[in-house]
Amino acid sequence: MESSPHYNAQDELTDEKVKREAIEIPEDKSTAKIDPVALDVTWGNDPRYWSINKNKLGSITLLQVSWLEVVGKLDGSRLVAGEKYKVKFLVKMRADAFGWSGCPVYLMAKDASGKFVWKKADLSLLPSDTELPIPDIQSQVLIFTAPRDEVVCGLFEIWRGSWKGGLEIVRVIIDKVPPDNFRRR
C-alpha cells in the first residue's frame, strides 16, 4: 500500500492514548478542545512541508506550503445539536514566518443547515512567538449552529498559490455561545 502525502488523523493516529486525549470535551458539551494531531492536514505527511509528531500531543508546524488546508471533524453527538458555538484556532507565528502579507487565511465551519460559514484573518498582523486565537484577533467571531451528524471546521489558504510558512497550530477551540451573547451581524 502506497502512503499518502496527506495526514489523515483517523488513519495516522495509532497510539490509543494520544487518540483518546487529542479531543477534550466536558460532559456538559460546552467546549471542545482539539489537539492538532487530531486534524486532517493536506501535505501533512511530507516533512518538507509540515512537522507533525503523531505520537504525542502538541502543536504542529507549517514549514512551507502553497496550499494550506487543515480540517477538524467531530461526531455531531459530541456537541449539543442546534446550539450556537464559536470556533477559533489558537496559532503562533514563528520568527521565521514568511509569505503571509496579502495572503489572508479563511476559517470555516459547517452549519447545521449544511452551509459553510467563513471568516477571514490576516496572519501578517500577528506578532512573532505569541499564541493568539484567530479570527478573534480582528474582533471577528466565527459562529455556527452545531449539526447533528458531523461537526467540521477548518483553516484554508488555497487561492493565492504563493508559498508561506512559519505557522504553528497550537489547538482548535470550539466554545458554546450563551444565548444572551448571540447577536446576528
The string of pLDDT tens digits covering residues 135-159 is 876 667 899 999 999 999 999 999 9
Angle in degrees, CA 138, 143, 145, rounded to 5:
175
In a domain, 4, yes or no: no
Average pLDDT, the chain: 91
Output the pLDDT for position 1: 40
**Which parts of the chain sit beneath pLDDT 70?**
1-2, 137-139, 181-185
Output the pLDDT for position 124: 94
In a domain, 3, yes or no: no
In a domain, 160, yes or no: yes
In a domain, 110, yes or no: yes
Please state, as a whole number, how many other Cβ atoms lie within 10 Å of the Cβ of residue 86: 21
In a domain, 92, yes or no: yes
In a domain, 164, yes or no: yes
In a domain, 136, yes or no: yes
Q: Which residues contact 13 (CB under 8 A, 6 or more apart)?
A: 19, 22, 37, 38, 54
State the residue range of the domain holding 164: 9-181
Q: Indicate which CATH number applies to the domain containing 81.
A: 2.60.120.260
C-alpha cell of 177? Answer: 455561545
Output the pLDDT for position 109: 96
Output the pLDDT for position 19: 81
Output the pLDDT for position 151: 95
Output the pLDDT for position 56: 83
When divided into structural domains, the chain yields a total of 1
Burial 13-47, CB ≥16 within 10 A → b, else e: beeeebbeebbeeeeebeebbbbbbbbbbbbbbbe
Cis check for the bond before 179: say yes or no (omega within 30 of 0): no
In a domain, 43, yes or no: yes
Q: Which residues contact 184 (CB under 8 A, 6 or more apart)?
A: none
Which residues in the chain belong to E strands, given as ranges? 23-24, 31-34, 40-41, 50-51, 60-62, 68-75, 84-98, 105-110, 116-121, 132-134, 142-145, 150-157, 165-176
